[in-house]
């Protein structure tokens, strides 16, 4: 009997570094699949999970969708009675390279944050490329923030003085951008925290320009390989001249803007090409006098946050760590 073809082998460069639990899952479930960036694009690809191995959503007090002008938001409310001033609120942006993902993509993470941090979670179903390229996602992110701030107290029962933002991968990019946008609005919208998981913060990065060692060091990683990252980038932001704009690459935001940013918790994966730009973003925050905790998950590649089911203990650990950091920021730990 012929063996199925292997399209995504584990390269010798990382085989000795990769967590055994990830390698086992990869070889069983992922190695024989064709990478998404190597097949013809069809929007229906979004109907299948971008990452396998996730947990089921947790039970929360309530879930309701709301329509903004160009996108939906999904609101998760905790069980029980809200604090006297209203629930703290976490605005979340899912991952998927600004190309993949839907309103359902990271329901599990949203419910985990809702329960672990005792907060309302507003998950934003921002528009995606290639149909809606940059800056559509940024515009949706800003609208979501303004909606939460202006309407959230009456509509959602939240405390507008306790707003945090966060996201995973491309969603981490949008969350970081929103911290700078919030400070630049008139009047500014105060944010208490940012939670960035394996974020994209520099869309000029590649294996050749030497800005970040991890792009070259992890060029033969699993999951988010350089070619896939560039495919995502070009779907979302096809005009190269946009890549240095700070609402595309937030690491280029002005120094004064970094000084106004909220405290941060940043998770990066050791075997991710994005590792060093996430670390560099944390350093820029620290240089600006902003508290920033950066945690490196050893032996892990890019997608571990969404692999917190029975697949990966390290995925469960990241979700628990994120929930603890958010709860601490809200004072609900």
Residues catalogued as catalytic:
169, 272, 302
In angstroms, the CA 269 to CA 275 distance is 6
Beta strands (DSSP E) in the chain are 62-67, 72-77, 87-93, 120-125, 158-168, 193-197, 264-269, 292-297
In angstroms, the CA 321 to CA 116 distance is 10
In angstroms, the CA 299 to CA 302 distance is 10
Determine whether 230 is exposed, middle or buried from the number of CB atoms within 10 Å of its CB (0-12, 13-18, 19+): middle
Q: Which residues contact 300 (CB under 8 A, 6 or more apart)?
A: 19, 22, 269, 270, 271, 272, 314
Neighbours of 154 (CB within 10 A): 9
Residue that has been written with the tokens 């959230």 in this structure? 152
Q: Is 62 helix (H, G, I), strand (E, B) or coil?
A: strand
């Amino acid at each position: 009997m012929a063996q199925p073809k292997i399209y995504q082998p584990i390269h010798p460069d990382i085989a000795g570094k990769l967590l055994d639990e990830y390698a086992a899952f990869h070889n069983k479930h992922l190695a024989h699949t064709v990478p998404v960036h190597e097949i013809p694009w069809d929007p229906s690809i979004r109907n299948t999970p971008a990452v396998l191995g996730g947990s089921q959503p947790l039970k929360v007090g309530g879930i309701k969708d709301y329509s903004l002008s160009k996108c939906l938001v999904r609101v998760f409310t905790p069980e029980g009675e809200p604090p006297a001033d209203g629930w703290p609120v976490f605005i979340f942006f899912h991952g998927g390279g600004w190309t993949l993902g839907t309103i359902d993509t990271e329901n599990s993470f949203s419910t985990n944050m809702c329960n672990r941090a005792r907060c309302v979670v507003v998950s934003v179903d921002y528009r995606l490329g290639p149909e809606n390229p940059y800056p559509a996602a940024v515009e949706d992110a800003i609208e979501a923030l303004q909606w939460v701030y202006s309407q959230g107290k009456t509509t959602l029962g939240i405390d507008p003085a306790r707003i945090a933002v966060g996201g995973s991968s491309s969603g981490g990019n949008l969350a970081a951008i929103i911290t700078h946008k919030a400070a630049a609005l008139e009047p500014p919208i105060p944010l208490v925290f940012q939670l960035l998981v394996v974020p994209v913060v520099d869309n000029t990065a590649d294996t050749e320009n030497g800005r970040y060692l991890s792009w070259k060091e992890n060029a033969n990683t699993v999951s988010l390989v350089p070619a896939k990252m560039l495919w995502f980038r070009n779907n979302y932001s096809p005009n190269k001249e946009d890549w240095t704009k700070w609402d595309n690459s937030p690491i280029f935001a002005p120094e004064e803007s970094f000084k106004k940013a909220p405290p941060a918790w940043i998770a990066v994966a050791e075997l991710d090409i994005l590792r060093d730009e996430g670390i560099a973003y944390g350093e820029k925050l620290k240089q600006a006098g902003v508290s920033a905790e950066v945690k490196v998950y050893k032996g892990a590649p890019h997608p571990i946050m969404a692999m917190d089911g029975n697949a990966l203990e390290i995925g469960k650990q990241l979700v628990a760590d994120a929930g603890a950091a958010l709860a601490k920021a809200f004072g609900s730990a």
